[in-house]
Amino acid sequence: MSSWGYHLYRWLWVGLDWLYPPVCGGCGKEGHRWCLDCQRSVSLLPDPKCEICGLPQNRDGICAACRRKRPAYRMLRSWLVFEGPIRQALHRVKYRRDLGLGDSLASHMVHYLDALSWPVDAVIPVPLGKKRFRERGYNQVGLIAHPLALALGWNYAPRALTRVRETASQVGLSAGERRENVRGAFAADVRRVRDRRVLVMDDVATTGATLAACAQALLDGGAREVFALTVARALPHHGLTTV
């Protein structure tokens, strides 16, 4: 399953960890980027889930929101619940430049993603706007998406999708406001996505509005099918407005 490029990528970070001992992204413990205690304390999303958006619900099938308006992606899945150590780890990747932590998280996601058995040709991270990219210097989603693509032998295509206008932060917005905020904000490179099955990836999903907008842009660009993946999912009981 894993390519030689993935093993080389992993050994690069192992070598850097020998030179500069890491701390755990979830709890700050020295010696590991993602320690065993944090691995054991995270929560998988419970079943049953909506067949399309992946949000936990009380019964099998498609949730009411997806029945009212089906998202452009075929399905969205998230590895963990956005709380506790994984929340701290993703904040550390995003705001504290812990670049190697992205590889560590990806290495633990490989088996989850492989088990989904999605027929994917290329992996595309949700792109940042130009202003945010200049401020941060990197796309935190790419730090996880790239090693996942290497591990599974998929093409990594960060330039296949661009953000064509700046958007406000989604934090604090309702589901409807989130959809409006990102409507028409993305455009696909037709040469890179035409007739391909693609996976678009983000770090966290709340309502899935950003991923749905990306998926629509990719379909408009000629993609055959779009799957969506996030590291974590923020759930309604966290006080978020999802309807």
Contact 228, 124 (CB under 8 A): no
CA distance 201 to 6: 18
Assigned CATH class of 4-238: alpha beta
pTM, to two decimals:
0.88
Q: CA distances (Å), 17 to each of 24, 48, 101, 170, in order? A: 12, 39, 11, 34
- Band (pLDDT 50/70/90 cuts) for residue 238 is very low
* Res 240: pLDDT: 41
Helix axis angle for 4-19 and 99-116, nearest 10°, is 150
Over residues 173-232, the pLDDT tens digits come to: 666 667 766 788 899 999 999 999 999 999 999 989 999 999 999 999 999 999 999 999
| Confidence tier at 242 by pLDDT (50, 70, 90) | very low
Dist. CA 240–CA 243, nearest whole Å: 9
Please, which residues bridge with residue 76 across strands?
A: 228
Parse the chain into domains and list their residue ranges: 4-238
Under 8 Å CB-to-CB from 188, ≥6 apart: which residues? 160, 161, 217, 218, 220, 221, 222, 223
